[in-house]
Chains A and B, each alone.
Chain A
Amino acid sequence: MRESAGPVLLDRQGLQALIAALHARGYRVLGPTVRDQAIVYDDIESVADLPAGWTDEQDGGRYRLKRRGDDALFGYVVGPQSWKKYLHPPRLKLWRAERDGDDLAIREEAEPVQRLAFIGVRSCEIHAIAIQDRVLLEGRYVDPHYRARREGAFIVAVNCGEAGGTCFCVSMNTGPRAEKGFDLSLTEISDGDRFVYVVETGSEMGGEVLAGLPHRPAEALHLLAAAAATDNARSHMGRTMATDGLHDLLVANLEHPRWDDVAGRCLTCGNCTMVCPTCFCTSVEDDSDLVGEAAGHTRRWDSCFTLDFSYVHGGSVRASPRSRYRQWMTHKLATWWDQFDTSGCVGCGRCITWCPVGIDITEEVRAIRAEPMAGGGT
C-alpha cells in the first residue's frame, strides 16, 4: 500500500511468505506442480510443491517433462490444464429438483466458494481468463458460479523467460509479458547461484499483500535481467500465426479443401477443446434417484467435436469431422470476434501439443492463407 510503485525483489523465502500470506488470508492457493509426468495445477502448500528444476518439451502431439540444469520454479511453459478448471469447473451441480406428489421444488446447489489464489499464471492465461470473463460475465446474462470464483481470485502472474515449442502468444498479442489483469507479477531471474523474483504490483490488493512480505527494491541490474528474460521468450516462439485479415479469410473459406484434409487427420477426440483455456462450451445432464423423488441437473464441459453437440431432433447438424473441425477453428479465430469482439485464441499452443495426431492450428491457417479460394469459396 505504502510501498513504492517500482518493482521489488523477492527471494525464495519471500515467495514462501507469499504463499503463506495467501493461506493466512483464507485463500485456497493453487499453482503448478508435477503429477503424472506433467505440470498440472493443484493445491499448493509451500514452495516445495512447485516444479523446481523441471521444464517441458513440447511439439505437435508431444509433451515431455525434462530436468533442467538448475532449480528454477517456473522454467516450464504451460501444461495440459488451465485455470478454467477452477473458474469454470468441468462438472458443476446447478440445482436439484425434489418431487412430492404433484409438487416440485427446485433447490440450488451452489456451495460456498473459497477464495482462489493462482500462482504462476502466464500472460496467455491471463488473456484467456479475460476472454472467459467476456463470455460468462460481461454479456446480458451472468454466470453466478463463474462470478463467485472469479471475483475474489488473487492472481500471481509469471512472465515467461522461455517459450515452448508450440507457443505463439507473440502472434496473438497476448504475451509473453503480463501487462495487466494480475495482482502481482513475477519474473524469475538468476542472481548468482540462485533464482530471485522481480515483482510488479497490479492491484491494490496485490500491493497490500506484497507489503507484508520480506522484500527489497529491485536494482537496475535485476530489471534488465527481467526484460532480457521476456525478450528471450519473445524471440523464441515455437510457432507463429499471421492474424491480419484472419476473420474474413476464414469466413470466406468455409468450403476450402483444407477442411477435408484436416478431417482426414482429426480424430474428433475433443482434446483441443478440453485443454483450451478459452473453450467455454458446456452441456447439462439430468439424473434422478431410483424412487423418482429427486433429480439432479449438472453442468459439464462439452466439446463441439461430439456428434451430440449439434443434435437437433432427427440428427446432428455437424455430422462430418470436417464440419466439426471447421466449427472449432472458425469459432476460435473468426466468429469469436463477432460474438465477443476478441479472438478466442491466446496462442498458448495447448491444442497443438495435446492433439494426439499433432494437428497444428497455425499450420491449418497457413494452408488456407496460402491458397484462399477464389471468390471466397461459398
Chain B
Amino acid sequence: MNASADPMVPEVRRVTRVRRELADVWTLAIDPGPGGFAFTPGQFNMLYAFGVGEVAISISGDPTEPETLIHTVRDVGKVSGALARLKPGDSIGVRGPFGRGWPVADAAGSDVVVVAGGLGLAPLRPSLYRLLAERHHYGRIVLLLGARSPDGILFRRELERWRTRLDLEVEVTVDHAGSDWRGNVGVVTSLIPRAAYDPAHTVAFVCGPEIMMRYAAIELAKTGVAADAIYLSMERNMKCAIGHCGHCQFGGDFVCRDGPVATYARLGRLLAVREI
C-alpha cells in the first residue's frame, strides 16, 4: 500500500469517525483511500500522530470491509494519547499492515477457542468477523473474555449481539464486580475448562496481557490443546515494524516480523524466562 520506496514513510489518511469505547479507549475509523486496506486479522499498523510519533496499533476492524480501516486505541502514553484525541477530519499517518496474524484459514475444520483479556479483544475481533463470515468452515466457536470489571468490557454491544447467536458460545468474566453485575466473576482462565470444545481438534487464539496469555495457554494445554495449536499475540516495543530497529526482539524472534502472533510451542519456553 505504500507509495514510497521507504517502508518507514507513512501514508497520510483521514479519520472519519471516533467512538469512545471505554473511559480511556477510543476506536478510530480511518479512510484508507482508494483500493481500501487489505489485512490479515491480527496484523497491526504503525500510526503516526503529528509531531508526537508513531505507535504500533493492531487493526480491530472487519477484514471483509476493507473500505474502512479501524483501530482501537487505549490512551496509555504520549502517542496513544494523541491518537485518542483525534477528531473526525483530522489527518493521521499510517504504515502497514505488518506482522503475522491469526491463522484463521488454517483453522478450517477445527473448533476455535478465542480467549481475550481486556483490550486483547481488539486484535482478535477481525478474526471473529472472519470466522463468523465463514461460519460453516469451522466446528464450535467459543469466545472467552476476561476484563477487570464490568466497565472494562470492550465492544459490549457487539458481544451482546454475538451472545444471541446459537452458533457462537460467548462467555464473559470480570475480575471483580459490584452486586449489580449478573455475569461471571473470576479470572478468564477459569472459563477455559468449562467451555465446550474438542481439544484434539481445536485451534486457540489468545490475546491479552502477557501474564494472562501465559496462564491461558497453560490452561488450554491442560485440557489437551496442542502447544502448536495455541496462538498468542505478543507485545513488545516497536519502532520500525520491519525487523530493522531491533527493539521488539523476543529471543530469536522479531515480534514485528515473526509475530505478533506465534504459537505457544514457539514462545512457551521463553515466556517463562524473566526479562527476556
Contacts and interface: CB of A to CB of B under 8 A. Distances in A.
A–B proximity contact (CB within 8 A)? yes
B244 A313 contact: no
A282 B240 contact: yes
B8 A335 contact: no
Contact of B237 (A105, A312, A335): A312
Interface stretch (B31-39, B47-55, B106-114, B171-179): B47-55
B274 A313 contact: no
Contacts of A110: 6
A310 B52 contact: no
Nearest to A282: B245
A295 interface: yes
A144 B236 CA distance: 25
Contacts of B251: 251, 335, 338
A102 B254 CA distance: 35
A284 B239 contact: yes
A102 B244 contact: no
Interface stretch (B87-95, B141-149, B160-168, B190-198): B87-95
Contact of B243 (A139, A297, A311, A317): A139
B8 A254 contact: no
Contacts of B246: 280-282, 302, 304
A319 B93 contact: no
**What band does the interface of chain B fall in when counting residues whose beta carbon is under 8 Å from A?**
35 or more
A288 interface: yes
Interface in A188-215: none
B249 A283 contact: no
Given A97-B93, A283-B247, A295-B51, A339 B8 contact: no
B269 interface: yes
A141 B276 contact: no
Contacts of B90: 102
A339 B77 CA distance: 30
Contacts of A139: 242-244, 257
Contacts of B242: 139-141
Contact of A281 (B91, B245, B274, B275): B245
A360 to B, nearest CB: 23
Given A99-B50, A310-B236, A313-B76, A143 B244 contact: yes
A280 to B, nearest CB: 6
Nearest to B91: A104
A302 B247 contact: yes
Interface in A70-102: 94-95, 97, 99, 102
A286 B93 contact: no
B239 A313 contact: no
B22 interface: no
A286 B4 contact: no
Interface in A292-320: 292, 295, 297, 299, 302, 304, 309-314, 317-320
B244 A141 contact: yes
Secondary structure call for the B interface: loop
A329 to B, nearest CB: 13
B252 A141 contact: no
A317 B238 CA distance: 13
Contact of A378 (B245, B253, B272): B272
B244 A280 contact: yes
Contact of A95 (B9, B76, B273): B9
Interface string B262-276: 000000010011111
B12 A141 contact: no
A135 interface: yes
A84 to B, nearest CB: 13
B244 A286 contact: no
Interface in A94-126: 94-95, 97, 99, 102-106, 108, 110
A123 B19 CA distance: 58
A318 B275 contact: yes
B51 A255 contact: no
Contacts of B239: 282-284, 302
Given A97-B51, A106-B9, A312-B235, A317 B91 contact: no
B5 interface: yes
A79 to B, nearest CB: 24
22 contacts: A94-B6, A97-B50, A102-B90, A104-B12, A104-B50, A110-B6, A141-B244, A143-B244, A254-B273, A254-B276, A255-B273, A282-B246, A284-B240, A287-B51, A297-B8, A302-B246, A310-B236, A310-B247, A317-B237, A323-B275, A327-B249, A334-B252
Given A139-B244, A284-B245, A309-B247, 19 more contacts: A99-B50, A102-B91, A104-B50, A106-B10, A106-B12, A106-B93, A139-B257, A140-B257, A144-B5, A286-B53, A288-B51, A297-B54, A302-B246, A310-B237, A312-B235, A317-B275, A323-B274, A327-B276, A331-B249
Top 9 A-B pairs, shortest CB-CB distance: A338-B252, A281-B246, A288-B51, A323-B275, A104-B91, A141-B242, A295-B51, A335-B252, A313-B76
